Amino acid sequence: MPLLPFPLPQADLLFDPDFLPAAEANALLAHFIAGIAWEQRAICMFGRELPQPRLTAWHGDPAARYTYSGLTWEPRPWTPPLLGLRQRLEAATGARFNSVLLNYYRDGRDSMGWHADDEPELGPTPVIASLSLGATRRFRLRPVGPRVGLAPSSIGLDLPNGSLLLMRGPTQQCWQHALPKTARPAGPRLNLTFRWVAG
């Protein structure tokens, strides 16, 4: 199935719920969980250092250093599976990517708070390809300030195993996104966000 527009004012979102076949997505999930050097870094919130509620890793070209939430990431080298996904995503989207942030949500207690991928090194209108592996989780978006007009306070989008969400254009300027905790049973999930970081 091709990437299809997801309607959202002042945003440019494309979505394919079946970008990867289930068997391939499951194999990649198992490979990355076992083979990636995962970290749980601490961030400063309300004057305290707290561990991020998920595991993370950063891979990319040597110059693709990235800073967010006060953390600076030096890229680990591309692995063959990550490089293969990068090439397929570039072919599918027409965009270029030099790095990928991997987030490992071990169960429903792991989460990502509200934020926008609007760091200066990503540029004013970044293209971010978000690939999901494993358990389906609800991705939420909410408008930033009054620029979105009559948009709802927030919307949800389920991201199933093997799905691809492409965010581009003004999306990061006008919308924040999050992956909330869930009390429902949830298995492991990986999210790989491919992006271009200016050197």
Arithmetic mean of pLDDT, 166-178:
95
CB atoms within 10 A of CB 183: 7
Query: Please, what is the Cα angle at 180 between 179 and 185, to 5 degrees?
Result: 105
Q: How far apart are CA 35 and CA 166, in angstroms?
A: 26
Query: Please, what is the Cα angle at 134 between 99 and 129, to 5 degrees?
Result: 30
Which sign does the torsion angle of CA 172, 192, 69, 51 carry?
positive
Q: How confident is the model at residue 175 (pLDDT cuts 50, 70, 90)?
A: very high
**Residue pLDDT, tens place only, 83-137:** 999 999 999 999 999 999 999 999 999 999 999 999 999 999 999 999 999 999 9
The pair of structure tokens assigned to 73 is: 């990431």
Q: How confident is the model at residue 49 (pLDDT cuts 50, 70, 90)?
A: confident
Which residue range(s) make up the domain with 43?
4-195
15: amino acid identity, one letter: F
Residue 145 per-residue DSSP state: G
- Among left, alpha and beta (phi > 0; psi -120 to 50; other), residue 47 is left
What contacts 138, CB < 8 A, 6 or more positions away? 156, 157, 158, 159, 179, 180, 182
What is the domain count for the chain? Answer: 1
The pair of structure tokens assigned to 195 is: 């992006």
Q: Do 114 and 178 touch, CB atoms closer than 8 A?
A: yes
Q: Do 78 and 141 touch, CB atoms closer than 8 A?
A: no
138: amino acid identity, one letter: R
**Residue pLDDT, tens place only, 52-62:** 899 999 999 99
**pLDDT at residue 149, rounded to an integer:** 54
Q: Which of 69-83, 122-136, 137-151 has the lowest mean pLDDT?
A: 137-151
Question: Which has more pLDDT, 9 or 69?
Answer: 9
Which CATH number fits the domain that encloses residue 14? 2.60.120.590
Q: What is the pTM of this model?
A: 0.92
CA 87 to chain centroid, in Å, comes to 17
